[in-house]
Amino acid sequence: MSYLVPAEFVTKMVDTGESKIFMSTRDTVIRAYMAGAILALAAAFAITITVQTGQPLAGAILFPVGFVMLYLMGFDLLTGVFMLTPLALLDRRQGVTFNRVLRNWGWVFLGNLGGALTVAIMMAFIFTYGFSIGPGVVGEKIAGIGEARTLGYAQYGVAGWFTIFIRGMLCNWMVSMGVVGAMISTSVSGKVIAMWMPIMLFFYMGFEHSIVNMFLFPSAMIMGGGFSIADYVWWNEIPTVLGNLAGGLAFTGLTLYATHVKTGPKRNLV
C-alpha cells in the first residue's frame, strides 16, 4: 500500500524532527541553502507566469514545482523544521534539548536566507542585463509587491502587523501540510499530489511565507522598491516568521501529535 496511516506518518514526523536536530552543521546549512534557492526560483517563476498570462491562478498552480523539487531532494525549509523539530522535544527523544532545536532553526534560517539572496541577485542581474537597463515588467511587479507587503501593512499600524502574523500562521498551516503530505505516500506521484494542493492554496491566497519573502523583498529593493530594510524586517519578516512558527506547530504538528501519538484515553461505552 502506497499510503501510510496517520499513526505511522506522525511517528515518522517525530523521527524526522529528531534526525534534523542531530544533523551536522555543514549538512544543515547546505540543505537549507539549496531549499531557499529553489523556492526563490519558483517564486520568480510564478510571478513571471502571472505577469505574462495576467492570471494569478496560473502562477499559483505552477509555484508548487519548487516545493516539490526541494523536498524530493531532502532539502530543508525553516517552515518545515518549525513544525517537525519541536515534536522530538515533546516526545522526549534522547539528547534532544530546547537549545538544540533553536540551533537547528538558526542554521536553517541562515541557509535559507543565503540561498534566497543568491537567487534574488541572480534574477535581478538577468532582468536588468547586468544592471544596465530597467527591471522590466516582471521586475517592476516584484518591486510593487515588495512595497505593498511592507508599507501597505505599515499604514494600518498594529492591525497591519497582526494581519501579517495571521497570514504567516495560515501560510505555514498549509506549507506544513505539504511537508506531511510528502510523508503520507511512499510513491513519488503520491508525494507530489499531496504536496501540491496545500502549497498552491497558500500561494494563491497571498499568505506570508518567510523564505519566499527572503527572495521577494531583497529582490524588490534591488528593482527599485520604495521601502527600507527596516521596513522589510519589521513590517514583514519578523511577524511572518513568528506566524509561520505558530501556525505550523499549532495547526499541524501539535494536532497530529496529540491525536495520533499522545492520544487521549478511549471512552468506555459500557
Three cell numbers, residue 66:
519548487
How does the average pLDDT of the chain come out, rounded?
95
**How many CB atoms within 10 Å of residue 134?**
13
List the domains of the chain with CATH numbers: 6-260 (1.20.1080.10)
pLDDT per position as a tens digit, 46-71? 999 999 999 999 999 999 999 999 99
Query: Would the pTM of this model clear 0.85, i.e. be above it?
Result: yes
Buried b (16+ CB within 10 A) or exposed e, 183-211: bbbeeeebbbebbbebbbbbbbeebbbbb
- How far is residue 129 CA from its own chain's centroid? 29
| Chain centroid to CA 16 | 17
- Which 3 state secondary structure label does DSSP give 84? helix
Residues of the chain with pLDDT under 50: none
How far CA 155 is from CA of 55, 151, 221, in Å, comes to 28, 6, 19
Q: DSSP secondary structure string, 206-226?
A: T---HHHHHHHHHHHHHTT-S
For residue 2, what pLDDT is reported? 81
pLDDT digits (tens, 9 = 90+) for 148-165: 999 999 999 999 999 999
